[in-house]
Structure 1
């Protein structure tokens, strides 16, 4: 297999590259070069927002599969559909649980957000970073929709739960670990809603499997079960041997993973495809230790 990874410099993207290399794949990484790639990997420098530069960097290369770690907008997706036409037979986009952000309640199945029918508006100010960040879930939904309808190759969308563990540059789990270890309060909603989570090494392994698989369309990727912010505090407290202090926030910034709406995901399709994620309790202690440093 010859696999192209767009992005891959940070967090589970580097774990993904390791998984692909361990499986014997030749890996080419396309990014802006903010960090050196792992050994044995071909690196091409390009800003994926610059379509001409991306096309030039690729030259005449072709790939068995592409895994796109950094597709956030429909404009990026449309450019990828054009640039990789004739270069690959399969395109895996790393998507997110945030595509379900307007939903709440029971575990959500993939068909709740159908890329083949989701409306797309390319005229929105997607190049603006602030707009993009404020509309993260919608950008991912529209990116999926563009690839599903315009790409001349097979497409799959891995909707990842909230990722914990490993070299997490976001600092979200570390926020909890540091506060609980120091006996400081953790600010949460009055009634925080449950969310799905996944371990960084397991989402990397799933993406590597997806690159060589045959399925198309969306698939949820999450550990079984959920945690709300208070339950997350309790689990971290048990690992640290400290009683946590979750406190209802009063105007201050609430802690990450404290949600007013639920983010539970149904993973029946991933299981049917032969991939079973570990229970949260099996890997969370390790993630806590890594976050503590």
Structure 2
């Protein structure tokens, strides 16, 4: 049994992570702003993680074996958390993202198309940090999400007061109505409704992970001893046409696609650049991943049900 603190932990992956840590017998503390209470038996601390004084006072004399930070998006937040948890935890796990590898968001080492991107392409130990950028501006943060995560990793990796790990999650799917990104719903609604899906002329494949599997990777990372980043993705590459085909098979409708011109705006998961991750390091460390093809049809069925699609459509019956 370990004492584990989850910052965030009130919805989707974080909520499930808390539930699974608690079910395993760990002593779990959740820190959030109080809008959502965790399940019974989990300690709940109400604090704004952006208010260092309030966070430190709320923590009191508590110490932890590990902290899992679900809601750290900038180097400023990372530095504040590092100071607040200095001497309070032996391990700090950051929930990061595949987007750190997006070659459109930074100058990164080139990776040949078809070669899975390794963790070393973005090394938090050497990535430059600029805390003076307008990280408190929501509009700036939204357009610099990947850079914010890269710099947050870098701050925590260099802190030195605890062991640091980052879980770089692939594109997350599953959960039906709980899937707050709405990206899978974009496909189910358009295919059921016969609306166009905007795609690139030659879309490149990417990697995905089910939200339950990502929660399991974070649970595993919190209780292990490895350091540095690990990529978390299910086995198997899919491009936008593959994804649409799975949705179409469940919906009983043919997808309608429209090719966008070069540089045009396409639907989510249609990519004209390569950054599909390698999960080799996590597997070498002992994590066993599922296959995307095994869980995606059920995730699509959940999304259809959440949108109120007729039962026959959810089952994949041909439309009239």
Distance apart, 1:111 and its partner CA = 0.7
1:25 & 1:241 partners in 2: Cα distance? Answer: 44
1:245 & 1:178 partners in 2: Cα distance? Answer: 12
The residue that corresponds to 2:289 in the other structure is 277
1:154 & 1:45 partners in 2: Cα distance? Answer: 25
Distance apart, 1:253 and its partner CA = 5.1
Structure 1 residue corresponding to 2:212, chosen from 180, 201, 207 = 201
Does the alignment pair 1:239 with 2:250?
yes
1:69-120: CA deviations, max 9, x gaps?
Answer: 0111011111111110110100100000011011563210001111111111
Distance apart, 1:252 and its partner CA = 8.1
1:247 & 1:172 partners in 2: Cα distance? Answer: 17
The residue that corresponds to 1:149 in the other structure is 158
Paired residues in the alignment total 293
Given that 2:13 and 2:211 are in contact with CA atoms closer than 8 Å, whether structure 1 keeps it comes out as yes
1:2-60: CA deviations, max 9, x gaps?
Answer: 11000111211111111101111111111112222222211111111111111111111
Q: Secondary structure at the match of 1:203?
A: helix
1:68 & 1:48 partners in 2: Cα distance? Answer: 10
Does the alignment pair 1:255 with 2:264?
no
1:203-240: CA deviations, max 9, x gaps?
Answer: 10110011110100010000112111111111211122
Which has the larger Rg? 2
Q: Secondary structure at the match of 1:143?
A: helix
Structure 2 residue corresponding to 1:140, chosen from 149, 153, 168 = 149
Given that 2:236 and 2:293 are in contact with CA atoms closer than 8 Å, whether structure 1 keeps it comes out as no
2:214 & 2:90 partners in 1: Cα distance? Answer: 22
Structure 2 unmatched ranges of 5 or more: 307-320
Does the alignment pair 1:219 with 2:230?
yes
Q: How does 1:1-293 map to 2 (within 5 A)?
A: 1-102=2-103, 105=113, 106-166=115-175, 167-249=178-260, 254-292=266-304, 293=306
Using the TM superposition, name which of 97-106 and 22-31 deviates more: 97-106
1:247 & 1:230 partners in 2: Cα distance? Answer: 11
TM-score normalised per structure 1:
0.96
Q: Secondary structure at the match of 2:41?
A: coil
Spell out structure 1 runs of 4+ moving beyond 3 A: 249-253
The residue that corresponds to 2:313 in the other structure is none
Q: Secondary structure at the match of 1:30?
A: strand
